[in-house]
Structure 1
Amino acid sequence: MRIDPGQHRADQPVRAGIPEHGRIPRYYAAKIELLALLDELGEGAPLPSERELAERCGVSRVTLRQAVTELVLEGRLIRRHGSRTVVAPPKLLQPLALTSYTEGVRAQGREPGRIVVTVETRPADARLAADLRLEPGEDVVHLERVLQADGERVGLESSYLSKARFPRLLDDFDPAGSLYAFLHEELDVRFGEAEERIETVLATPREALLIGTNPATPMILLHRLTWTPDGEPVERVRSLFRGDRFTFVTHLHS
């Protein structure tokens, strides 16, 4: 199989996967051909049989499986129990901005949802207390929720807020709803700025079980600390998103 290094999509690096010596790994050549096939098939369509695909790509089944596995990890294919592997839907685009998860998902015509895992009061450790400008040991409200999009589990979010600053949270807030909407609409909280750190990780066994994903699936971890316009801390959030289902986008200005 021949691949012209000059032929590439605008969202892919030039010569992606092609070593400088020009010898293209057979699994990668098969992967490129499979990508073209996925565009033809469309979302939700099942892949042809492994034998048919191996013949089409001119590779062994072992080599084909390597290409398919990479496409599954990248979120281009979905393996379903008891049925064939199918073409995945487009990834969700989540803005890196002072907007809620709910707003980001609804903007794409998808329905957000949350499964409540934990609602508790706990003492703040030294680091959390420093972030929220509390004394160590002061009570914070901890909300842990599985994030959904159209009923599919796509992430896990843990939010920490001062119980003294937001005493109505435990009594009045529906933990299955949007926390940002409640803070803004019910408590008149205004968000001024936030600091966000992003890294890639693998889910712990517990996190993988809650999200319903393979522990080998790459995850995107976001840490966010949010303040009001007056500089008062509002919340600290740890959000874990499936790397095969999310793309993050932001707008930069000079």
Structure 2
Amino acid sequence: MESFTKLITIDRASPVPLYFQFAQQLQQLIETGVLPPGTRLSNEIALADQFGLSRPTMRQAMQHLVDKGLLARKRGVGTQVVTNRIRRQIEFSSLYDDLKRDNRNPHTKVLSVLTQSAGAATAAALRVEEGTDVLSIERLRYADDQPIALMRNHLPVGLVELSAESLAEAGLYQLLRHSGVQLHTAEQTIGARQATTAEAKLLDETRGATLLTMTRTAYDDTGTPIEYGTHVYRASRYSFEMTVAAR
């Protein structure tokens, strides 16, 4: 444990939430092999004491990495770095564009378009203070009249004018491009989890059905984050496909 404690620093003057600072740095140590698969970590109480964080903050940081598939909690063993986790890059495109290209007749039900205070994860992704107003959008995407994805997106206020009517007729990225926003790169994480009762109802799935998840932060050509999305997809009807090359 002591081998990596000095590699993580917490900046209490930073606008980035403390839990996210810790989680990001621990993620980097895992991905670079400093903490190899199978590494056992101290319990959350001990970690919180070592880094001068509250227990709820440390619990949130660890849960963030569990949700991303980097850590696993095992009864009688504790928290470990996940063994044989596979990371894959996929094409930077929108679901709307993908469905349209495949002639799957996409259409959208807009559930909400509103301005609200940014939570910790949204604020960190968009590099704004927690509590800053952001534009939040929730949509249900259909393919051939079947619900396929529930999408939640957050954008800086004032970046682009969006309405329920425009979002029902086109994809978000299409609207951003038409407004002059230059989409350039994105960071995304793909995983899976069980559907909540509300999600299952919207997606016409059984309660607890497996959903694919994708969390994405998109950047413009200056490297500024312009969109943070958290999407869930019906695993029974959707899959991610990619081409990989030998190295």
Q: Name segments (4+ residues, structure 1) moved above 3 Å.
A: none
Asked if 1:179 corresponds to 2:172, the answer is yes
Q: In structure 2, the residue corresponding to 1:192 is in which secondary structure? A: strand
Equivalence for 1:249? 241
Counterpart among 198, 211, 226 of residue 206 in structure 1: 198
Partner of 1:219: 211
Structure 2, gaps ≥5 residues long: 1-88
Hey, what does 1:132 align to over in structure 2?
126
Match of 1:90 in 2: none
Query: d(CA) in 1 for partners of 2:207 and 2:186?
Result: 30
CA distance in 1, matches of 2:111, 2:225: 24
Supply the distance in 1 between the matched residues of 2:162 and 2:108 (Cα, whole angstroms): 17
Identity between Structure 1 and Structure 2 (%):
27
The residue number in structure 2 matching 1:62 is none
Structure ID, larger Rg: 1
TM-aligned CA deviation for residue 204 of structure 1:
0.4
From 89, 114, 117, the equivalent of 2:111 is 117
CA RMSD, Structure 1 to Structure 2 (Å): 1.8
Give the match's secondary structure for 1:249: coil
Offset of residue 164 of structure 1 = 3.3
Asked if 1:104 corresponds to 2:102, the answer is: no
Write the distance in 2 (CA, Å) between the matches of 1:126 and 1:243: 28
Q: Deviations over 1:116-145 (max 9, x none)?
A: 111111011233112101122211111101
Tell me how far apart the structure 1 counterparts of residues 184 and 192 of structure 2 sit (CA, whole Å): 27
Equivalent residue of 2:239, what SS?
strand
SS in 2 for 1:207: helix
* Pairwise CA distance, 1:170: 4.5
Is the CA contact (8 Å cut-off) linking 2:126 and 2:225 kept in structure 1? yes
Structure 1 match to 2:153 = 159
Deviation of the 1:108 alpha carbon: 1.5
AA partner of residue 132 (structure 2):
E
User: CA contact under 8 A between 2:97 and 2:171: conserved in structure 1?
Assistant: no
- Tell me, in whole angstroms, the C-alpha distance in 1 between the residues paired with 2:149 and 2:118: 24
Give a deviation string over 1:19-40, Cα, whole Å, max 9, x none.
Answer: xxxxxxxxxxxxxxxxxxxxxx
2:238 and 2:190 map into 1 onto residues whose CA distance is 13
CA distances 1:77-111 after superposition (whole Å, capped 9, x unpaired): xxxxxxxxxxxxxxxxxx93221111111222210
- For 1:236 and 1:139, the matched residues in 2 are separated by 14
How far 1:252 sits from its partner (Å)?
Answer: 3.3
Residue 221 of structure 2 aligns with which residue?
229
Contact 2:197 2:208 in 1 (8 A): no
- Which residue of structure 2 aligns with residue 196 of structure 1? 188
Given candidates 169, 190, 201, the residue that maps to 2:162 is 169
Which letter maps to 2:227? E
Structure-1-length-normalised TM-score: 0.58
